[in-house]
Amino acid sequence: MKSDSSISAGPLRGLGGPLRSSEPVRAARARAPAVDLLEEAADLLVVHLDFRAALETCERAWQSLANHALAEEPAGTFLEVKCSLCVVGIQALAEMDRWQEVLSWVLQYYQVPEKLPPKVLELCILLYSKMQEPGAVLDVVGAWLQDPANQDLPEYGALAEFHVQRVLLPLGRLSEAEELVVGSAAFGEAQRLDILQAIDTARQQQGQEHSGSEEAPKPNREASPSSLPFLYKLAQLFRWIRKAASSRLCQLRIRD
């Protein structure tokens, strides 16, 4: 058996030469199939505009993650891959005018709202609020915000404010919004005052008699979800995918 020193020097001597069948094959770092599929899905979505194929590729990637024993890999890396798959899938569903399916689609992979990544939750709030269905995410976001593990995340304050502005205020749940802002330590003093001012303004508007004569905005069923500001976020994501795939994501190991 070769010594450790000869083994470590072996790759240098063997560069460009054939590997003899008698030599043991050491575990090599390789791209995870899910990473390749993530790149493929993003390419189908952004470049080819093949939304159905992009969604199907995302689902194949999720299946790949489930089939391979990847739990030993750095947790943060695979959380990023999963999150990115969801972002691509969300956009694909929206482009196919299947935006109503987004919430159930992401929850089938994360099981409970509390486990949703902040970026995915933000996109869900953005989508349903833009389509004038903020009530669809009310319970999901509320559960996420109440989870103690999420309250330590740096994104918590921004998501809480987003929830107030995009969900609670449009639904007229002013007391709930006020309770969230006052009771959370995630808000800075200036931020808290600004949000409370917005709540107070909404309360005054709600109490005005003439506001009842104004026609309430109707859900924009004719709006195309492609008009949502997802493509900007997706372009950022796509650049991240390309960069990450050529660096540390390329170094993922596939273990038997």
Distance CA 104, CA 70 (A): 25
Distance CA 141, CA 160 (A): 9
Token representation of residue 216: 């309430």
**Is residue 58 within 8 Å of 41, Cβ to Cβ?**
yes
Give the tens place of pLDDT for each residue, 83-125.
999 999 999 999 999 999 999 999 999 999 999 999 999 999 9
Q: What is the 3-state secondary structure (H, E, C) of 80-98?
A: HHHHHHHHHHHHHHHHCCC
152 pLDDT more than 50: yes
Distance CA 126, CA 132 (A): 10
For the stretch 138-177, what's the b/e string if a residue is b when 16 or more beta carbons lie within 10 angstroms of its beta carbon?
bebbbebbeeeebeeeeebbebbbbbbbbbbbeeebbebb
pLDDT band at 34, cuts 50/70/90?
A: confident
Distance (Å) of CA 154 to CA 118, 150, 158: 10, 9, 8
Average pLDDT over residues 212-236: 50
For the chain, what percent of residues have pLDDT higher than 70?
66
- Name the one residue in this structure whose structure tokens are 């103690």: 148
pLDDT of residue 79: 85
The set of residues, in sequence order, having a beta carbon less than 8 Å from that of 190 and lying 6+ positions away, is none
The closest alpha carbon to 142, from 162, 119, 172, 170, belongs to 162
- What are the sequence ranges of the domains in the chain? 32-97, 113-206
pLDDT of residue 25: 47
Average pLDDT over residues 179-205: 92
- Could you tell me the maximum CA-CA distance found in the chain, to the nearest angstrom? 89
Question: Mean pLDDT lowest for which of 68-82, 106-120, 133-147, 152-166?
Answer: 68-82
pLDDT of residue 17: 43
230 pLDDT more than 80: no
